[in-house]
Structure 1
Amino acid sequence: MRWLKVALVGLLLMGLLPTDARAISSEHIPIEIIIDAGHGGIDGGTSYQGILEKDINLQIAKLLYKELLIKGYQVLLNRTGDYALSDENKWLRSPSRHIRDLAQRRHLAKEIHPQMLVSLHVNWSNSKSSRGPLVLYQKNNQSYILADIIQHHLDQLYKTKGEPLPGKTYYLLKQSICPSVIVEMGYLSNSRDRHFLVNEKKQKQIARSIQEAISEYMLIMNQIQDQETWDVIEEPRKKHK
């Protein structure tokens, strides 16, 4: 399966090309971040005059992948081409292709045990005035912190004022065991957002903003862990004073 393997770090850094996870066994490289490129294959997602969400998701996912690699993170992109992950799911007996697709994305995170999963999507509204990014989070503190930071960085780029929302009904958020967020990168139904989503320069800016948010989150989490470790070390010392 594509997702069972990841590319050698050296080759990734040299080529900076997304891996479809077939180069080496994932046991050799601990993956920190999974980028979930939403939809794919028969599932185009939302659309506007021939513009398909699945293509935008993949384009920005690849850019984000490169951004994170440059920063030194170990990253896995779960889709590197136009195919549906439901095709990879041979283990779940469900008549629903959509459920098999989502289950495969969740299964990947379960097998890899990353520090986070970031799922990229594009929004749609019947109201053409609806615009701006929206980040959905799980019912846990880490997911909310990650969502809030990504929301802030994307709002700065889009010049909007949004708030992350709980994604209570979303399968991936309910089922994923690692901190996960769904990033709706803008509304394809809105002309201003559409310019961000399809313009190559703007796509790079979106990827850069998400990378900066992830880096900020990782820094915060490392600081929290360092403080917790220090507290564990300090507590016995206090008892012996």
Structure 2
Amino acid sequence: MYSHPSRIAAFCLALFVGGAAVGVAGEKLRFSTVVIDAGHGGKDGGSVWNGLVEKKLCLDVAKRVETALQLKGLKTVMTRRTDTFVELGQRARIANRVPSSVFVSIHFNGSRKTIISGGEVYYRSSRGKGFATAISRSIKSKIPGGTRGVFQASYKVLRETQMPAVLIECGYLSNKRESLRCADPAHRQKLADAIVSGLLAARRKK
């Protein structure tokens, strides 16, 4: 997650942020490329709980998503492929150079309230809302207890990207039981497959 000092404040922002369109986007999206943003990297490790480091899991899931999308015939662009630090604004600029694309930022969460578990999908624009809903539904259908729902937020990578964009929190590393699941490569593959299924469900067929 990008805003580690205050998870509760970030969650409240997700619920009450203003200034963005919130209409339900029922229409499917037209895109040929998915920009995949593995959160954190390099000097920014992200959440560290129960022996897990967020940046490593983000990159692992991002690569799994990339592989699955390419097998489905979609083009992909990664904002990082190695353990390197990429500024948030640069991530958005990378995405904005890619025509006919959508943006997916992949994260894992953490909270002092270690009872909290489940993924979350964030969006900002009305087009992003339908996109986020499709991914959340897919995760819910494939992973029991896998999602807490869809929320509006104003994270920088959502504000500054010009295409439909979502930020996915794949689970809470601070929850002991969920951290054990997230440590399992088989579970991370299920997460990647669910994300890809949601992407395809949101895509308009040509």
**Number of residue pairs aligned between Structure 1 and Structure 2:** 175
Q: Say which of 181, 188, 206 aligns to 2:166.
A: 181
Q: Normalized against structure 2, the TM-score is what?
A: 0.80
Residue type of the alignment partner of 1:204: Q
Q: How far apart, CA to CA, are the structure 1 residues paired with 2:54 and 2:183?
A: 10
Q: Normalized against structure 1, the TM-score is what?
A: 0.69
Q: Is 1:195 aligned to residue 180 of structure 2? A: yes
1:146: how far off?
Answer: 1.0
From the two aligned structures, give the one with the greater helix fraction.
1
Identity between Structure 1 and Structure 2 (%) = 27
Deviating beyond 4 angstroms after TM superposition, the runs of 4 or more aligned structure 1 residues are none
The answer to whether the 8 A contact 1:132-1:158 is kept is no
Q: Structure 1, unaligned stretches of length 5 or more?
A: 1-29, 86-100, 227-241
For 1:85-113, what per-residue CA distance to the aligned partner results, in whole angstroms no more than 9, with x for missing partners? 1xxxxxxxxxxxxxxx0010011011123
For 1:48-102, what per-residue CA distance to the aligned partner results, in whole angstroms no more than 9, with x for missing partners? 14421000000111111100000000111121110111xxxxxxxxxxxxxxx00
The 3-state SS of whatever aligns with 1:62 is: helix
1:31: how far off?
Answer: 5.8
Which entry has the higher C-alpha Rg, 1 or 2?
Answer: 1
1:192: how far off?
Answer: 2.5
Counterparts in 2 of 1:54 and 1:189: CA distance versus 1, 3 Å: same
Q: How far apart, CA to CA, are the structure 1 residues paired with 2:194 and 2:67?
A: 13
Q: How far apart, CA to CA, are the structure 1 residues paired with 2:138 and 2:32?
A: 24
1:193: how far off?
Answer: 1.8
Aligned counterparts, 1:1-241, within 5 A? 32-85=33-86, 101-140=87-126, 142-160=127-145, 162-168=148-154, 170-218=155-203, 221-222=204-205
